[in-house]
Chain A
Amino acid sequence: MEKFSTHTGVAAALQRSAVDTDQIIPAVYLKRVTKTGFEDALFANWRQDPDFVLNQPVFQNASILVAGPDFGTGSSREHAVWALRDYGFQVVLSPKFADIFRGNAGKQGLVTGVISESDVEAIWAVIAEHPGIEMTVDLGARTAEIGDLQVSFDIDDYTRWRLLEGLDDIGLTLRNEDRIAQFEARREAWRPRTLPVR
């Protein structure tokens, strides 16, 4: 995972609440066995509407998405994060994220910042007035700046640190390999085993 410190890019307003992962990437696109190349799948059904925000030329290169509350609800598909990332998004701001989506995003270098609903409205207003305007997101300071507006966002300390350092989770866990082995040595015999096959 690459280190993330600050990012500047075009901000797009997704003026909907409860954007579920079936909308972010419909199930038919989950059949691929690769981890990249999902850019065409992002919001695939909505993108068939010519008026959809990402179909407007000024937003086609957007890299920051500002959405309504409850972003990423539903399925655990990490493909939703890959699709956003492959399209070019590096940051999503919303008043509320679904838990699994947010966890997945943190593992893939996609910054998910929680901002207040009034800040979302204010950012949408700035974008509406200046379509194509850029936003600067500073993960260290937990701030986002667009035009004259500066808002702060929430992201937990641990995820922020991992994103800033670009750290791989499995590597971090394996530093505790001896503790895992100790735990395994005292696991009770009744706990389930899939092997041998019965």
Chain B
Amino acid sequence: MSTTIPDRPRTLAEKVWDDHLVVKGENGEPDLIYIDLHLVHEVTSPQAFDGLRAEGRPVRRLDLTIATEDHNTPTLEIDKPIADLTSRTQIETLRRNAAEFGVRLHSLGDKEQGIVHVVGPQLGLTMPGITVVCGDSHTSTHGAFGAMAFGIGTSEVEHVLATQTLPLKPFKTMAIIVEGELKPGVTAKDIILAIIAKIGANGGQGYVLEFRGSAIRSLSMEGRMTMCNMSIEAGARAGMIAPDETTFAYVKGKPHAPQGQDWEDAVAYWRTLPSDEGAVYDAEVFLDANELEPFVTWGTNPGQGVSLSQTVPDPASFADPNERAAAERALEYMDLTAGTPLKEVPVDAVFMGSCTNSRIEDLRAFASVIEGRQKAENVRVMVVPGSARVRLEAEAEGLDKVFTAFGAEWRFAGCSMCLGMNPDQLAPGERCASTSNRNFEGRQGKGGRTHLVSPLVAAATAVMGRLASPSDLPRVDAAAVRSTTGIGA
């Protein structure tokens, strides 16, 4: 293997790539890359299992494969049969396929069920220096651990099931350096939304992003997952963050984390992964963390965002004709007028959840803002934990009582209103402040309008009934508030 490793400083992404090289491609052929962990869910797998069946192929490595149900699952009455017949069929198909091929599956009702990108890390399967794939573009989430993790299509799902490898051309690398200290109320979500606004929803195409700098190092694992999760919204295949003590502490002791000598070996290897001094990136982008404010999207792609304190931009202000046309279309779809202060935009719904922001720390942050308050009248507030385990954890801390006292709906785990494959959808014309990742037309329900925000902004918005940050809220009687949990970045 050593013959294929170049004798020069390498980036984190190059190191992980080199260590998974099964065959080095020659004459324009792609490399063949080994896959350490394959996450499977119900939406992008049925046709892949069909393909295996048609060719009489088994799953090559059942011990590197795990499945859960998330996209279609209801978040209410989960003990009853799924009402939507096509959703039920898709989930039953996964159950049949998992049983037939022997794939480990965590079904609705199981305590390890949940959004696939929340489940992998909480089981300790996601760890530094591995390759992770899933038929879902937000697989980039797992890059927060210093893993190379990316979304694939169904043909590739079948390919990995059959061979545990993928033919891939090396990606280019982009360093995104965020230096400084975040102001109170500014979180990982605001950093990534600001990055996407800066480089554009296509700015990362063909790249693996590596988030670096003091502001990134100071983030919790949850915050890092939020950042890497949305790498795809900049068009990047993957986002990565070098593993450090924060990473090791998070992985240690999880059910599938290495133990004993394996743990020692793993950590020793993981310490070699950060990019070498002098490693060259194909592109570099800088961002000053000190300057950042809570961020919000106003349009229909995740790059169309500004600071919450600003106004809806004028399409005429965009020099690029494509961007101008896209902005015009977006304002029409979003029913917004240029020049309107974003803090004057009223919402009908608040969605707290999704693989971007549904981990325990996100729920704590949301709770810390709303505790002792009442939601705005006429605003529907849904809180959907990322996994059944997160739900149990939140209930053990009493967060569920904070949510329900506020007037929010406390739901069971799943993808829910991030993409509305289950009954959790916006009605046409409804406007939602959402902690999810995509503000595409109709994403949260046909005709629905989405503003992407952090959990803190979502919470303040739920209180005010219009887009708001926690600093906009009137003070509450401190005695009415029990000691709040820490707000994570």
Cα-based distance from A104 to B136 in the complex (angstroms): 13
Q: Which residues of B contact A70 (CB under 8 A)?
A: 201-202, 205, 235
B interface residues, how many (CB within 8 angstroms): 83
Task: For the complex formed, measure the closest distance between the CB of A154 and the CB atoms of chain B, giving whole angstroms.
Answer: 13
A32 touches B86 (CB 8 A): yes
A158 to B139, CA, bound (A): 26
Q: Which of A83-91, A135-143, A188-196 contacts B (4 or more CB under 8 A)?
A: A188-196
The stretch from A3-11, A55-63, A92-100, A145-153 touching chain B is A92-100
Q: B164, A180: Cβ atoms under 8 Å?
A: yes
Nearest CB to that of B418 among chain A residues?
A27
B153:A78 contact, CB within 8 angstroms: yes
Q: A26-B446, A170-B158, A180-B22 are in contact. Are A192 and B256 (CB under 8 A)?
A: yes
Chain B residues near A180: list those with CB within 8 A: 22, 32, 34, 163-165
Per the bound structure, the CA–CA distance linking A158 and B25 in Å amounts to 11
Shortest CB-to-CB span from B127 to chain A, Å, is: 6
Per-position binary interface string of chain A over residues 65-84, scored 1 when its CB falls under 8 Å from any chain B CB and 0 otherwise: 00011100111111101000
Q: Take A99-B205, A174-B163, A190-B258 as given contacts and tell me if A20 and B440 are in contact as well, using a CB distance cutoff of 8 Å.
A: yes
Q: Tell me if A190 and B265 are in contact (CB < 8 A).
A: yes
**Cβ 8 A contact of B421, one of A28, A74, A183, A194:** A28
B63: A residues at CB distance < 8 A: 193-195
CB neighbours of A170 from chain B (8 A): 55, 57, 158-159, 162-163
A158 touches B30 (CB 8 A): yes
Determine the distance from Cα of A111 to Cα of B3 in the docked complex, in whole angstroms.
Answer: 36
Q: Which segment, of B43-51, B184-192, B209-217, faces chain A?
A: B43-51
Across the two chains, which residue of chain B brings its CB closest to A17?
B322
B57: nearest chain-A partner, CB-CB: A170
Chain B positions 155 through 174: 1 when the CB is less than 8 Å from some CB of chain A, otherwise 0 = 11011001111010100000
CB distance from B258 to the nearest CB of A (A): 4
The reply on A18 being an interface residue by CB < 8 A is yes
A198 at interface by CB-CB < 8 Å = yes
Chain B contacts for A191, CB-based, 8 A? 36, 130
B438 touches A22 (CB 8 A): yes
Judge if B391 is at the interface, Cβ distance under 8 Å.
Answer: no
Instruction: Map CB proximity to B onto A154-198 as digits: 1 under 8 Å, 0 otherwise.
Output: 001110000000000110111010011001101111111111011
Q: Name the CB-closest residue of A to B415.
A: A27
Interface contact B201-A73, CB-CB below 8 Å: yes
Q: How far apart are the CA atoms of A31 and B422 in the complex, in Å?
A: 10
- Is residue B357 within 8 Å, beta carbon to beta carbon, of the partner chain? no
For chains A and B in complex, what number of residue pairs have CB atoms within 8 angstroms? 206
Q: Tell whether A194 pairs with B125 under 8 Å between CB atoms, given A33-B93, A100-B237.
A: yes
Q: Contacts A81-B153, A158-B30, A176-B23; is A194 near B104 (CB within 8 Å)?
A: yes
Given contacts A26-B442, A27-B419, A76 and B153 within 8 Å (CB-CB): yes
B265 and A169 within 8 A (CB): no
Whether B153 pairs with A45 at a CB distance below 8 angstroms is no
Q: Which residues of A contact B30 (CB under 8 A)?
A: 158
Residue A103 at the chain B interface, CB threshold 8 Å: yes
Q: Chain B contacts of A31 at CB under 8 A?
A: 43, 72, 84, 86-87, 89-90, 421
* Cβ contact within 8 Å between B29 and A78: no
B36–A173 CB distance below 8 A = no
Is A116 part of the contact surface with B, judged by Cβ < 8 Å?
no
Specify which of A100, A156, A184 is in contact with B28 (CB 8 Å cutoff). A156
Given the known interface contacts A45-B442, A74-B137, A170-B163, the answer about A189 and B28 at a Cβ–Cβ threshold of 8 Å is: no
Chain A nearest Cβ from B440, distance in angstroms: 4
Q: Chain A residues with Cβ under 8 A from B202's Cβ?
A: 18, 69-70, 73, 96, 98
Q: Mask for B47-82, Cβ within 8 A of A = 1, else 0? A: 100100001010000111110000110000000000
Asked whether B322 lies within 8 Å of A78 as measured between CB atoms, the reply is: no
Is residue B15 contacting chain A, with contact meaning CB distance below 8 A?
no
Q: Enumerate chain A interface residues (CB-CB to B < 8 A).
A: 16-18, 20, 22-23, 26-28, 30-35, 45, 68-70, 73-79, 81, 96, 98-100, 103-104, 107-108, 156-158, 169-170, 172-174, 176, 179-180, 183-184, 186-195, 197-198
4 closest cross-chain pairs (CB), A and B: A104-B153, A78-B153, A190-B266, A107-B155
12 A-B residue pairs with Cβ-Cβ distance under 8 Å, sorted by A, are A22-B440, A68-B322, A75-B136, A76-B137, A78-B153, A170-B57, A172-B167, A179-B23, A180-B165, A193-B64, A194-B37, A194-B63
For the A-B complex with A76-B137, A104-B153, A180-B163 known, give 11 more contacts whose Cβ atoms are closer than 8 Å: A20-B301, A20-B440, A31-B89, A70-B202, A107-B156, A157-B28, A170-B159, A170-B162, A192-B64, A192-B125, A192-B127
